[in-house]
Amino acid sequence: MESISIGLLGLGTVGSGVVKIIENHQDKLMHQVGCSVKVKKILVKDLDKGRAVHVDQAMLTTDPEDIISDPEIDVVIEVIGGVNETKQYIKKALINRKHVVTANKDLMAVHGAELLTIASENGCDLFYDASVGGGIPILRSLADGLASDRITKMMGIVNGTTNFILTKMSKQGSAYEEVLKEAQELGYAESDPTADVEGLDAARKMAILSTLGFSMKIDLDDVKVKGITGITEEDLQYGKQLGYVMKLIGIADREGEKVEVSVQPTLLAESHPLASVNDEYNAVYVHGEAVGETMFYGPGAGSLPTATAVVSDLVAVMKNMRLGVNGTSAATPQYEKKLKAANESYSKYFLRLHVRDEVGVFANITSIFSEHHVSFEKILQLPLKDKDLAEIVLVTHQASLQDYEDILVKLRDLHAVKTIESSYRVEGSANV
């Protein structure tokens, strides 16, 4: 094999990075796989648009068939995003026996199992390491480096936009709307930031991570999701006072045969390894029964970091081509999906209440927690400007989600409680 021919779907931020790396790293690619690599055709929406990278105009096309159905193209790299139309492109490419590399987390979270099956049936590779964590090789590490271990917990910051926003809010005391606007101006957040700030982007990544890490088909609907839009400056300040840092955390936890997967704002103890991951950076903390604790850290997005993961997948495809083992790496989930019930899911919780400033109110509140055998790790009680109200901030010891939800229902019904201002999961023990 003298050369491997690539068809590229998309020439935006990541696509431009892929072209740059393939052009600039020819010597390394030749050394890795023993032949040259060339991009033959690139799908774009507008032939005349200005590009971040110079390419021969003759390489551009607006017709996906010029790539998907070209018998000379060996590998299709998909970096255009989207789900339904893109799924059809990839499906047809695999049926045409072309290997596929994608950075599309939305697609893989929803249709990954189906597409991996089609790839296997046609003797093709479908690699998607760039779909989670940008330049962090987390999926490859789970599939290869930790393949012999039993993963019990994966926990991470997998969305750079929300981490940037929360970092700015925590360090500068800025309001959410103000920081979101700054993130949009810097290009970290989209003009419609819903998928990021409501936790949907992170949930898709956690579905992919948990499916691979637990070898269990976890669907997007199995992930409990809560975004960051309700977080206030007061929440962050109280958290800091108690020794915690707020992050949007994806958690996938396995005990025995049962798992739980969630994405939610979480107060991390300042000593927790993820607490110091700031700005647009991502990090995933993985616990295996044999290896113990490992952590993967790096830029979670951007042209070259994500393109690096794409080209690493391309190298893996090409090595398989040289060995004649394409289509053998996609392992179907080994275990039947079993999700934890609310009474099997345990955590600590942060709760902030506004209550009537009357005798016996705190006793009434503590009696509700006592009924459910939930005790307190930390308590703050402060007067509010409104003289008839007081603020209570507390952190519980470990409690089941079922008990905690029952407590919240009873607190809402209690005359002495005016409002439940906020409630968050807590990880780790703060030293304050």
What amino acid positions are annotated as catalytic residues?
205
DSSP letter assigned to residue 291: T
Query: CA-CA distance, 274 to 244, in Å (whole number)?
Result: 11
Query: CA-CA distance, 303 to 128, in Å (whole number)?
Result: 16
Query: CA-CA distance, 99 to 122, in Å (whole number)?
Result: 9
Give whole-number Cα distances, 89 to 82, 85, 349, in Å. Answer: 11, 7, 45
Question: Are the C-beta atoms of residues 356 and 365 closer than 8 Å to each other?
Answer: no
Question: Are the C-beta atoms of residues 76 and 103 closer than 8 Å to each other?
Answer: no
Tokens of 64: 């996906």
Length of the chain: 432
DSSP letter assigned to residue 372: T
Q: What is the DSSP secondary-structure string of 214-228?
A: HTB---GGGEEE--S
Query: CA-CA distance, 299 to 152, in Å (whole number)?
Result: 25
Tokens of 375: 């005790």
For strand 151-157 and strand 281-288, is the pairing parallel, antiparallel, or unpaired? Answer: antiparallel
Closest among 262, 248, 227 to 346, alpha carbons compared: 262
Contacts of residue 206, Cβ cutoff 8 Å, sequence gap at least 6 = 154, 158, 223, 250, 251, 252, 261, 262, 263
- Letter for the amino acid at 281? Y
Q: What is the DSSP secondary-structure string of 77-107?
A: EE-S--SHHHHHHHHHHHHTT-EEEE--HHH
Helices 26-33 and 303-323: crossing angle in degrees, nearest 10, is: 30
Closest among 76, 100, 127, 140 to 286, alpha carbons compared: 140
Query: CA-CA distance, 139 to 149, in Å (whole number)?
Result: 14
Query: CA-CA distance, 62 to 48, in Å (whole number)?
Result: 11
Residue matched to tokens 């799908």: 43
Residue matched to tokens 């700015």: 168
